Structure 1
């Protein structure tokens, strides 16, 4: 169900409707915006689709171009721009006029058919090409306040607890690729520093100076130059638990 319904007249607002749809979908998600040209699937009966979409929406944006009020179609009962606006009023859905272009002015009651005279008393929002970025952002901000359950999909969610807090750190001590927090249950993590790489199993790992210190089973690290000599380092395994089934844990 789309929360935002775009109402516009072809030839006097369709380009702005497409621009609005793109900006609103970027801000709130594609599923939250209904525009007939892209939201009604082929083979669907558009009269039912349009009226149902209006009834299910939380706000209707009426794109008002410079010649919108003078259109003769607006006086006809079968005009879809008119029908959508009247359906929104009947269902108690807020209607926000989007006043398009530098020549657009707030509507006056004498310009409108009697059934739509209430639009002249409805606060609208401007859109002008020379400040389109500012106006689009303002329209989106106003809708976010008008419909509080709209979600801003451009805001990245905070990292989940226990998730990746950092990916790579560098410097003279080498680089670290971290799968989880340093203080936590780390599995499958590789650290590489001046003393060689260190691959953890499970447990808590801490690094200070040039040497690793860790607790938990299954840790494997290479320290020193690894030339094969005892004093030069080599591959070491660390186990704190008991053997299982006669074999060392690995």
Structure 2
């Protein structure tokens, strides 16, 4: 049984609806988020499944895009976006308008058809794809506050994931000096000389640090630059 019903209009909010469905499913688990094109099986009666999906849900997310309020279908009694909203109101199911995009405004009572004026009084959330991480997290957190089953699923998912115990592999340091230029090399000691010698091994206690000598030529270059 779905806990969240995603109400949206194709062509105005369907991309946001897809994102909500995918991200909330990833957080709470499969079969908890109802979206018509994914949740209605082939051969099922479309109208019956939609009505049943609304009635069985704990909350309805009404995705409102920038052209949602001006769509002519919203004025028709047979419009499914409208019918799903009215069914949620009749059943006492909380309706949360999700404003898609940064510039989409909350519908006002004067803009809405008479039967839908209650939608203007519903507290809204916003989903902006430029702020998607925070907005998705916020929407999910609100849903866990409203629906105890989602809160339990959220905790179970976090527990099964557990802390990150990945350990970085240990890379051993070279066991001995590396000699890159002329000069003396002592393989069995920490003594490395030469104009371009780099030592990567220190025998015994390291009181003096690691010395790197890149030759008198470089010192002369620096002296010339002063």
1:158 Cα offset (Å): 9.6
TM-score, with structure 2 as normaliser: 0.68
Q: Is the counterpart of residue 156 in structure 1 residue 159 in structure 2?
A: yes
CA displacement, residues 171-215 of structure 1 (integer Å, 9 cap, x when unaligned)? xxxxxxxxxxxxxxxxxxxxxxxxxxxxxxxxxxxxxxxxxxxxx
Q: After superposition, where does 1:96-175 map in structure 2 within 5 Å?
A: 96-150=96-150, 151-152=153-154, 153-157=156-160
Secondary structure at the aligned position of 1:61 is classed as strand
Q: After superposition, where does 1:1-250 map in structure 2 within 5 Å?
A: 1-150=1-150, 151-152=153-154, 153-157=156-160
Ranges in structure 2 where 5+ consecutive residues have no aligned partner = 163-226
1:141 Cα offset (Å): 0.4
**Ranges of 4+ aligned residues in structure 1 off by more than 3 Å:** none
Secondary structure at the aligned position of 1:31 is classed as coil
1:17 Cα offset (Å): 0.3
Contact 1:3 1:32 in 2 (8 A): yes
Single out whichever of 143-152 and 40-49 deviates more from structure 2: 143-152
Ranges in structure 1 where 5+ consecutive residues have no aligned partner = 160-250
CA displacement, residues 13-42 of structure 1 (integer Å, 9 cap, x when unaligned)? 100000000111011111101000010000
1:154 Cα offset (Å): 3.1
The structure richer in strand per residue is 1
Aligned counterparts of 1:81 and 1:62: Cα–Cα separation in 2: 9
TM-score, with structure 1 as normaliser: 0.62
1:149 Cα offset (Å): 1.9
Instruction: Tell me the C-alpha RMSD between the 2 structures.
Output: 1.6
The structure richer in helix per residue is 2
Secondary structure at the aligned position of 1:109 is classed as coil
Secondary structure at the aligned position of 1:11 is classed as coil
Secondary structure at the aligned position of 1:141 is classed as helix
Aligned counterparts of 1:27 and 1:154: Cα–Cα separation in 2: 7
Higher relative contact order structure (alpha carbons within 8 Å, sequence separation ≥ 6): 2
Aligned counterparts of 1:113 and 1:44: Cα–Cα separation in 2: 30
1:157 Cα offset (Å): 4.2
Contact 1:26 1:154 in 2 (8 A): no
